[in-house]
Amino acid sequence: MKITIIFTLLLTVFSSQIVLAEDINLGVLAPRGELKALQKWTDFGKYISDSTGKTVKIIALAPPKVLSAASNNEVNFVLSHPAHTVALKEKYSAQQLASINKNSGSQFAGLIITRKDKNIRTAEDLRGKKVMSMKFKVAAGAYIFQTYHLKLKGIDVHKDFASMIAGKKQDDLVLAVKAGVIDAAFVRSGLLESMNKEGKINIDDFYVIDSREDKALPLLHSTVLYPEWYLTALNGVDTELANSVKKAALSMTSDLPASKKAKIKGFIDPLPLDNMIQALKTLNIAPFN
CATH code for position 237: 3.40.190.10
CA-CA distance, 16 to 21, in Å (whole number)? 9
Give residue 95's Cα distance to chain centre: 16
- Name the strand (E) or helix (H) holding 269: none
Q: For 197-212, what is the mean pLDDT?
A: 98
Query: Tell me, what's the pLDDT at 13?
Result: 41
SS3 for 110-152 is EEEEEECCCCCCCHHHHCCCEEEECCCCCCHHHHHHHHHHHHC
pLDDT at residue 16 greater than cutoff 90:
no
Q: For 5-25, what is the mean pLDDT?
A: 51
Query: Tell me, what's the pLDDT at 5?
Result: 46
Higher per-residue pLDDT: 5 or 143: 143
Q: Does residue 199 sit in the same domain as residue 146?
A: yes
Greatest Cα pair distance in the chain:
83
Residue 25 lies in a domain: yes
pLDDT bracket for residue 15 (50, 70, 90): very low
pLDDT bracket for residue 7 (50, 70, 90): very low
Query: Tell me, what's the pLDDT at 12?
Result: 44
Give the pLDDT confidence of 214-236 residue by residue, as tens digits: 999 999 999 999 999 999 999 99
Query: Tell me, what's the pLDDT at 11?
Result: 45
Q: Does residue 128 sit in the same domain as residue 179?
A: yes
**Which residue range forms the structural domain that includes residue 190?**
108-208
Residue 88 lies in a domain: yes
CA distances from 251 to 83, 243, 246, 254, 286 (A): 25, 12, 8, 10, 33
Q: Are strands 130-133 and 163-166 parallel, antiparallel or unpaired?
A: parallel
Q: Does residue 98 sit in the same domain as residue 121?
A: no
Q: For 4-21, what is the mean pLDDT?
A: 43
Q: Does residue 17 sit in the same domain as residue 83?
A: yes
Q: What is the mean pLDDT of the chain?
A: 93
SS3 164: strand
Last residue of a domain, one of 208, 241, 275: 208
Q: Does residue 171 sit in the same domain as residue 243?
A: no
Q: How many folded domains does the chain comprise?
A: 2
Q: Does residue 65 sit in the same domain as residue 13?
A: yes
Give the pLDDT confidence of 246-276 residue by residue, as tens digits: 999 999 999 999 999 999 999 999 999 999 9
Q: Does residue 112 sit in the same domain as residue 96?
A: no
Q: Does residue 100 sit in the same domain as residue 125?
A: no
pLDDT at residue 173 greater than cutoff 80:
yes
Residue 219 lies in a domain: no
Q: Does residue 44 sit in the same domain as residue 174?
A: no
Give the pLDDT confidence of 87-135 residue by residue, as tens digits: 999 998 999 999 999 999 999 999 999 999 999 999 999 999 999 999 9
Q: Does residue 175 sit in the same domain as residue 127?
A: yes
CA-CA distance, 183 to 130, in Å (whole number)? 5
Q: Does residue 13 sit in the same domain as residue 82?
A: yes
Query: Tell me, what's the pLDDT at 62?
Result: 92
Q: Does residue 125 sit in the same domain as residue 201?
A: yes
pTM above 0.85, yes or no: yes
Question: Closest Cα to residue 187, out of 114, 261, 282, 84?
Answer: 114
Q: For 127-144, what is the mean pLDDT?
A: 96
